[in-house]
């Protein structure tokens, strides 16, 4: 099958991808990623309208109480594996303009990584160079990596009211080193609010992966 | 004594309230494992237990929520498992007045099973056995709490049963969805209750996550699902983070206590509080129970 410019067929293809993610059908999701490359489709659109849509629907199903942690996690893994196929291809084709570099991590003492991983994946999919340091990462290490990678944005996740103070520590370290203005600092996680963002003197917060992408684009004027 | 209390139809057993929020209230910086305070600041832990006993709690739980092997491993202090749990026992023993009970507190390991994490049931059982073997000599009964995975709960029950004959209260933590109460792993209240019944626990309970109002609903469902005694330790509403970097629970004590009164009226046998509740809350519940 050749897709060409047939919008209808394209939309159908995106929906198939989105459904594969929601149905947690890994084989199908990966097969569709490979087909998107063979068919020479616009991979950014494939990621955003197909895989991104699927992961957003999973997020909605979680909110609604139809999906739970295992589904959320599986969906994230399938998304990641599909991205592992699509992102190198995007880079090869030069279609991917690097919009900026983001260092992202869950703060020390906190092992919640799902939300942070989804944010990282969505940022990669949207053309950012993402360094995901994982969970339980000391503030110093996050800052040092940001310096080393010449990052534009530092994203710090915290899911616990006891660990979210680490988010402020990032800003404090940057201030101490006199390099605060070199980075935009964004924070996220269930307990994070606007007033906490102000308290931290962070540059913004987002309550979903989609919002996080919008926020980073806005902060970097992209 | 706990078993006699369970048999006494007129007895409502009063558990303690929050530990973490009390620790922070006393000026300890958040971010470190509260279980380490058993060693680093035993006076403070003793004082919190004592306050809860003083205001009328029938039983309080050891400060060992995070002191299972797997959880300590995440903080790279698993080699201190014996000392942390043993010191926790000392602290609560000193505070316990006559005719009150010491509950061995067992919290989640922090490690999930696939696809969320990599933990296996065998790892869980072995982790909880290591903790429970230290606590067994000093506790009167067990409270396995805040479990969001029924499989981990069953592993903890198995671990305790392997080395203890003492009563077990098993409290899962649920979130309310449009389709009813579920764990975040996706198990329904009914499925969890059946599994806990089959594991022959003494009291089936729920704690944390839910505020007192939602807990009333949950207890109502529980009474329809099981003939086992029921335990409820709700949060004082939902937390708000303030500029002083602390989690605040704004729900007035009287509202929480009014909900506890409803929970008792529905038939709960054991009541207390979780996050955001304080000795003040327990004191007020004591008054309610005494007036029944």
Q: Tell me, what's the pLDDT at A94?
A: 63
Please state, for a pLDDT cut of 90, what percent of chain A lies above it: 47
Residue range B172-231, pLDDT digits in tens: 999 999 999 999 899 999 999 999 999 999 999 999 989 999 999 999 999 999 999 999
A211 and A112 within one domain = yes
Write the CATH number for B245. 3.20.20.330
Q: Tell me, what's the pLDDT at A181?
A: 95
Nearest-by-Cβ selection for B243 from A69, A164, A195: A195
Nearest-by-Cβ selection for B178 from A64, A109, A168: A64
Look at residue B239 and tell me whether its pLDDT is greater than 80.
no
Look at residue A205 and tell me whether its pLDDT is greater than 70.
yes
Stretch B15-32: mean pLDDT, rounded?
82
Residue range B151-165, pLDDT digits in tens: 999 999 999 999 999
Please state, for a pLDDT cut of 90, what percent of chain B lies above it: 85
Compare all CA atoms of chain A with the CA of B148 and give the residue at the minimum distance: A69
Tally of domains within chain B: 1
Residue A137's beta-bridge partner residues? A107
Nearest-by-Cβ selection for B30 from A114, A165, A196: A165
Q: Tell me, what's the pLDDT at A58?
A: 87
A117 and A215 within one domain = yes
Question: Which residues does B contribute to its contact with A (CB < 8 Å)?
Answer: 20, 29-32, 74-75, 110, 112, 115-116, 148, 175-179, 182-186, 239-243, 245-247
- Mean pLDDT over each residue of chain A, to the nearest integer: 88
Look at residue B271 and tell me whether its pLDDT is greater than 90.
yes
Among A92, A121, A148, which residue terminates a domain? A92
A86 and A34 within one domain = yes
- Residue B170: pLDDT band (50, 70, 90) is very high
Residue A147 lies in a domain: yes
Look at residue B243 and tell me whether its pLDDT is greater than 60.
no
Residue A154's beta-bridge partner residues? A103, A185
Q: Tell me, what's the pLDDT at A43?
A: 87
Query: Which is more confidently placed, A92 or B176?
Result: B176
Provide the token pair at B271: 């009541």
Q: Is A64 on the interface with B (CB under 8 A)?
A: yes
CB contact under 8 A, B241 and A69: no
A215 and A130 within one domain = yes
CB contact under 8 A, B239 and A68: no
Closest CA to A184 of A210, A155, A150: A155
A75 and A104 within one domain = no
Helical H segments across chain A, by residue range: 7-22, 26-38, 43-45, 53-64, 69-92, 114-125, 139-148, 165-176, 194-200, 209-219
Q: Is A45 on the interface with B (CB under 8 A)?
A: no
Stretch A30-59: mean pLDDT, rounded?
90
Among A58, A92, A126, which residue terminates a domain? A92
Write the CATH number for A215. 3.40.50.280
Residue range A146-169, pLDDT digits in tens: 999 999 999 999 987 778 889 999
Query: Which is more confidently placed, A2 or A11?
Result: A11
> From the candidates B172, B181, B245, which should be mutated to test the interface with A, based on the most A CB atoms within 10 A?
B245
A106 and A79 within one domain = no
Look at residue B245 and tell me whether its pLDDT is greater than 80.
no
Residue A52 lies in a domain: yes
Highest mean pLDDT among A22-36, A91-105, A189-203: A22-36
Stretch A63-88: mean pLDDT, rounded?
87
Contacts of A114 in chain B (CB under 8 A): 116
Residue range B41-80, pLDDT digits in tens: 999 999 999 999 999 999 999 999 999 999 999 888 999 9
Among A69, A92, A115, which residue terminates a domain? A92
A143 and A87 within one domain = no
Write the CATH number for A67. 1.10.1240.10
Residue A1 lies in a domain: no
B52 burial type by CB count under 10 A (0-12 exposed, 13-18 middle, 19+ buried): buried
Tally of domains within chain A: 2
Stretch A113-127: mean pLDDT, rounded?
78
CB contact under 8 A, B243 and A162: no
Residue range B2-17, pLDDT digits in tens: 999 999 999 999 999 9
Through-space distance between the first and last CA atoms of chain B, rounded to whole angstroms:
21
Nearest-by-Cβ selection for B31 from A74, A162, A199: A162
- Residue A97: pLDDT band (50, 70, 90) is low
* A58 touches A111 (CB < 8 A): no
Look at residue A92 and tell me whether its pLDDT is greater than 90.
no
Q: Tell me, what's the pLDDT at A175?
A: 96
A125 and A76 within one domain = no
A203 and A111 within one domain = yes
Contacts of B276 in chain A (CB under 8 A): none
Provide the token pair at A189: 């996680």
- Residues 88..127 of A with a Cβ closer than 8 Å to B: which? 109, 111, 114
Q: Tell me, what's the pLDDT at B154?
A: 98
CB contact under 8 A, A69 and B74: no
Contacts of B29 in chain A (CB under 8 A): 165
A108 and A78 within one domain = no
Nearest-by-Cβ selection for A65 from B31, B179, B239: B179
Residue range B78-131, pLDDT digits in tens: 999 999 999 999 999 999 999 999 999 999 998 999 888 899 999 999 999 999
State how far residue B105 is from chain A, nearest Cα, in angstroms: 20
Contacts of A161 in chain B (CB under 8 A): 30, 239, 241, 246-247
A113 and A214 within one domain = yes
Closest CA to A106 of A132, A86, A125, A82: A132
A210 and A107 within one domain = yes
Give the Cα-Cα-Cα angle A203, A209, A211 (nearest 5 degrees). 55
State how far residue A199 is from chain B, nearest Cα, in angstroms: 6
Who contacts B204 (Cβ-Cβ below 8 Å, separation ≥6)? B170, B193, B196, B197, B222, B226, B228, B229, B230, B231
> Which range marks the domain in which residue A200 is found?
100-219
> Which range marks the domain in which residue B66 is found?
2-291
């Amino acid at each position: 099958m050749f897709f060409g410019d047939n919008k209808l067929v394209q939309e159908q293809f995106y929906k198939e991808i989105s459904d594969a993610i929601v149905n947690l059908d890994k084989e199908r999701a990966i097969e569709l990623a490979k087909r998107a490359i063979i068919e020479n489709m616009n991979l950014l659109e494939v990621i955003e309208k197909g895989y991104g849509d699927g992961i957003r629907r999973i997020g909605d199903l979680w909110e609604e109480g139809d999906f739970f942690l295992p589904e959320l996690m599986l969906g994230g893994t399938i998304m990641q594996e599909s991205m592992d196929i699509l992102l190198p291809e995007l880079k090869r084709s030069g279609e991917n303009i690097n919009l900026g570099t983001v260092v992202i991590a869950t703060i020390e003492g906190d092992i919640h990584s799902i939300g942070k991983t989804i944010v990282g994946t969505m940022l990669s999919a949207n053309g950012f160079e993402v360094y995901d340091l994982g969970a339980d990462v000391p503030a110093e290490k996050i800052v040092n990596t940001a310096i080393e990678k010449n990052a534009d944005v530092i994203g710090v996740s915290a899911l616990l009211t006891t660990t979210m103070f680490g988010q402020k520590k990032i800003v404090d370290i940057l201030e101490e080193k006199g390099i605060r203005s070199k980075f935009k600092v964004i924070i996220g996680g269930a307990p994070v609010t606007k007033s906490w963002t102000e308290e931290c003197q962070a540059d913004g917060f987002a309550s979903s992966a989609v919002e996080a992408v919008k926020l980073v684009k806005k902060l970097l004027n992209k | 004594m706990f078993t006699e209390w369970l048999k006494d139809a007129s007895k409502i057993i009063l558990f303690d309230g929050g530990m973490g929020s009390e620790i922070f209230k006393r000026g300890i910086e958040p971010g470190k494992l509260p279980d380490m305070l058993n060693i680093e600041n035993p006076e403070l832990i003793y004082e919190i237990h004592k306050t809860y006993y003083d205001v009328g709690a029938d039983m309080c739980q050891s400060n060992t929520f995070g002191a299972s092997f797997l959880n300590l491993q995440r903080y790279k202090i698993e080699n201190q498992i014996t000392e942390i749990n043993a010191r926790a026992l000392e602290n609560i023993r000193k505070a316990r007045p006559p005719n009150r009970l010491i509950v061995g507190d067992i919290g989640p390991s922090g490690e999930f099973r696939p696809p969320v994490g990599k933990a296996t049931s065998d790892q869980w059982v072995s982790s909880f056995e290591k903790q429970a073997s230290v606590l067994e000599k000093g506790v009167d009964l067990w409270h396995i709490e805040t479990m969001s995975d029924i499989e981990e709960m069953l592993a903890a029950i198995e671990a305790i049963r392997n080395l203890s004959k003492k009563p077990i209260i098993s409290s899962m933590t649920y979130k309310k969805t449009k389709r009813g109460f579920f764990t975040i792993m996706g198990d329904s209240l009914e499925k969890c209750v059946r599994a806990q019944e089959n594991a022959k626990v003494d009291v089936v309970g729920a704690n944390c996550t839910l505020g007192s109002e939602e807990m009333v609903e949950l207890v109502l469902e529980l009474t329809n699902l099981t003939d086992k005694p029921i335990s409820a330790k709700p949060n004082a509403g939902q937390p708000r983070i303030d500029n002083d970097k602390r989690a605040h629970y704004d729900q007035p004590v009287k509202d929480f206590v009014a909900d506890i009164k409803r929970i008792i009226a529905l038939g709960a046998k054991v009541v207390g509080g979780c996050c955001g509740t304080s000795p003040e809350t327990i004191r007020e519940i004591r008054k309610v129970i005494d007036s029944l």
